Amino acid sequence: YLYLSMLMGPFRFAGMLVGQGQRAVAGGKRIFEIIDAVPDVAEPERPRPMPDGPGDIRFASASFGYSEDRTVLHDIDLHIPAGTTVALIGPTGSGKTTLTELVPRYYDVTDGRVLIDGVDVREVSLHDLRHHVGVVSQEPFLFSTSVRENIAYGRPDATPEQVEDAAVLARADEFI
């Protein structure tokens, strides 16, 4: 009985290691599926520079669906002049967030075009486009770190003055 109890510990430990190894392999497979996934949004072959214009946004007969059989935006024609504030109002699931996600090309329209200053966003490099387009989610997310680091998240090299300027622009300086 003594020898049996002495062998049980190492066998339990070996069993635990096998279980952890199986979970690690399964997790690794999921990670590699994500790494190997082909993005839905492709870079243009010959990207144009982002226009230096004022920032007019136009949806021209734009349609979008998350799948071929589920179109959520149908033939949208909308002009948002530069410098204007627009409120998108509608029930949950009506496409408000989806519409805003088409501008920085988190998704591409399935029909029609999205233009900034007359240039189709699909003709601009993703890096350049997303450098010029800012999106503020309706569900803000804050990292559990300082307010300064949350404000400077997109520019970790920002100076204190730049962070303060960003806070003023966001009208967050009063409660910081």
For the chain, give the percent of residues with pLDDT over 70: 95
Domain that holds residue 150: 142-176
Q: Is 7 a member of any domain?
A: yes
Q: Are residues 168 and 114 in the same domain?
A: no
* CATH code for the domain of 92: 3.40.50.300
Specify if 45 maps to a domain. no
Residues 127 and 150 in one domain: no
What is the pLDDT, as a whole number, of residue 124? 95
50 assigned to some structural domain = no
Q: Which residue would you say has higher pLDDT here, 104 or 93?
A: 104
Cα–Cα distance between 130 and 106 in angstroms, integer? 10
Q: How far is the C-alpha of 63 from the C-alpha of 74, rounded, in Å?
A: 5
Q: Please, what is the end-to-end C-alpha distance for the chain in angstroms?
A: 68
Per-residue pLDDT, averaged over 141-162, amounts to: 81
Identify whether residues 103 and 78 lie together within a single domain. yes
Write down the pLDDT at residue 59. 98
Residue 78 above 70 pLDDT? yes
What pLDDT does residue 9 have?
82
Is-above-0.75 flag for pTM? no
The domain tally of the chain equals: 3
Cα 46 to Cα 70, 85, 122: the distances in Å are 31, 32, 10
pLDDT given for residue 73 in this prediction? 94
- The answer as to whether 42 is a domain residue is no
